[in-house]
């Protein structure tokens, strides 16, 4: 059975007043013209308060955080190959701040995705850096060898992302308990 939604009738006595179209906050201000309020509103930058446990800066979804991390690591892999001759140590060192930024910039609702996407991004960015023979088989062998020899950097970056996520989550829980 379909239920019809009932709306309250319009308040006819407010139609004639000029302040009826303004929000209640604007009606409370007396002696201030509408254009003065609009210029005042346009002059102030609109800032949203940062929720507890959230860091200021970009807010990435889980997918966005994964794409950001993978794209940056792939770019760093190509730069490392081009400028430094595929230094795996430099690649590992550059992986750590990317992990931290990914964990800081991901939204609060998608926090648990950060420690998952950083190892995937490490492997994606390792393709240009990994040394291997020609062809697909040689590249895959170079990738597997690179993952095995650089596991320390991989674990360190994943741990950094995991600790950052846990700290952010703990701050969020503490702030929720206060409220």
Rg from Cα positions in the chain: 26
Mapping DSSP onto H, E and C, the string for 93-152 reads HHHHHHHHHHHHHECHHHHHHHHHHHHHHHHHHHHHHCCCCCHHHHHHHHHHHHHHHCHH
**pLDDT of residue 94 exceeding 70:** yes
Dihedral pair phi/psi, residue 58, rounded to 5°: -60, 145
Least confident of 32-46, 72-86, 89-103, 131-145: 32-46
What integer is the mean pLDDT of 126-140?
86
> 60 has which bridge partners?
106
What integer is the mean pLDDT of 50-76?
84
* pLDDT in the model for residue 10: 64
pLDDT band for position 5 (50/70/90)? Answer: low
What integer is the mean pLDDT of 109-121?
93
Is pTM, for the whole model, over 0.75?
Answer: no
Round the average pLDDT of the chain to a whole number and report it.
81
């Amino acid at each position: 059975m379909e239920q019809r939604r009932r709306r309250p009738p319009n308040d006819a006595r407010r139609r004639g007043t000029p302040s009826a179209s303004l929000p209640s906050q604007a009606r409370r201000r007396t002696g201030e013209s509408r254009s003065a309020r609009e210029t005042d509103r346009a002059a102030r930058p609109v800032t949203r308060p940062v929720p507890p446990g959230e860091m200021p800066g970009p807010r990435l979804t889980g997918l966005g955080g994964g794409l950001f991390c993978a794209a940056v690591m792939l770019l760093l892999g190509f730069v490392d190959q081009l400028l430094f001759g595929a230094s795996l140590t430099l690649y590992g060192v550059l992986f750590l701040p990317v992990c931290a930024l990914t964990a800081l910039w991901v939204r609060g609702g998608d926090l648990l995705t950060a420690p998952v996407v950083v190892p995937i991004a490490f492997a994606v960015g390792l393709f240009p850096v990994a040394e291997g023979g020609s062809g697909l088989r040689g590249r895959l062998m170079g990738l597997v060898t690179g993952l095995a020899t650089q596991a320390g950097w991989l674990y360190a970056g994943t741990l950094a992302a995991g600790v950052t996520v846990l700290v952010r989550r703990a701050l969020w829980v503490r702030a929720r308990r206060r409220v």
